[in-house]
Each structure stands twice: as C-alpha cells, then as structure tokens.
Amino acid sequence: MPQLRIEQPHGDAALEDWQRVHNEIIPTAVLSLDDVRERAGRNHLEVAYLGDAAVGCATVRPPEGEEAVVTVIARVLPGYRGRGFGAELYARGLAKAREMAAGVVETVVLASNEDGLRFAVRHGFVEVERYVLPGDTIPFVTLRLP
C-alpha cells in the first residue's frame, strides 16, 4: 500500500497536479497553469500524492494586514477523503503558518463543499464571512481559528 507523500510542486507537471486537484474541488474558480505559477510565486503550495496519484493540495498564504492573517487551505479529492490526508495537509499548513509568524489563521471553503466545511469546524474553525465572487452563485466561506 503506497504511503502519502507531500511535496512542494517544482516544474509544470507538479503544478498541473496542484491545478487539477484545485479545479476539481473549486469548479467555480478554475485556475489556468499561468494562474497557478503566479500563486506559487507568492504562496506556499504543496501537493499530496498516494503513489503517483495526486490526491490533495494545500495553499498557505503569507501574513496580511495588521492581524498578520495567514490563510491555510487543505484540499483532498472526494475519493480520498476520510483517510487522514486532509489532517496531514492541514497540520503541515498550520506549521508553515507558525513559521510565518501568523497572528491569526483562517481558511476558505467553497460553501458547496460540505466535507470541507465539516473538516474546518472539526478542527476548531468558526465561520466569519461568506462572499460570492463576481459572476458566481456559490459563496466562499471564510473561517477563523478563535
């Protein structure tokens, strides 16, 4: 049985793996490879692999604002949920947020991703905001660790 391997994406093939997971979980905000390259330049990205299959991805956005808000997002494809992969991605993201001297930790989940919302609440996050991107109908939910 292959073990979970998590690594930063280096090169287009790995960035495409991150993109594929993101776009499947967030179909309302599909990213191009150029978008992902730009995000990789400003955020900490990781891809989770089970064997050769990309099963999840993570984003840690650096501190913003007076509160030094760091956003930690862990995504796992539906067929791989419930095995602890999200918890491992989240723990790594939280550790990275601490390295970045986060004053506050937030996450963002698409409202239609009920598994993701339950995961965030189970890990102590509390909803603080909902917003809809221009042209979209499904809100994003911002949650914060108290």
For residue 35, name the pLDDT band (cuts at 50, 70, 90).
very high
Fold designation for 4-144: Aminopeptidase (3.40.630)
Pick from 56, 37, 54, 67: which is nearest to 128 by CA? 67
Q: What's the farthest any 2 CA atoms get from each other in the chain?
A: 46
For residue 138, count CB atoms less than 10 angstroms from its CB and return exposed for 0-12, middle for 13-18, buried for 19 or more.
middle
pTM of the model: 0.95
Domain ranges of the chain: 4-144
Q: What is the pLDDT of residues 68-111, one digit of tens each?
A: 999 999 999 999 999 999 999 999 999 999 999 999 999 999 99
Token readout for 40 is: 């990789």
Which residues, in sequence order, are CB contacts of 103 under 8 Å at separation 6+?
63, 67, 68, 69, 70
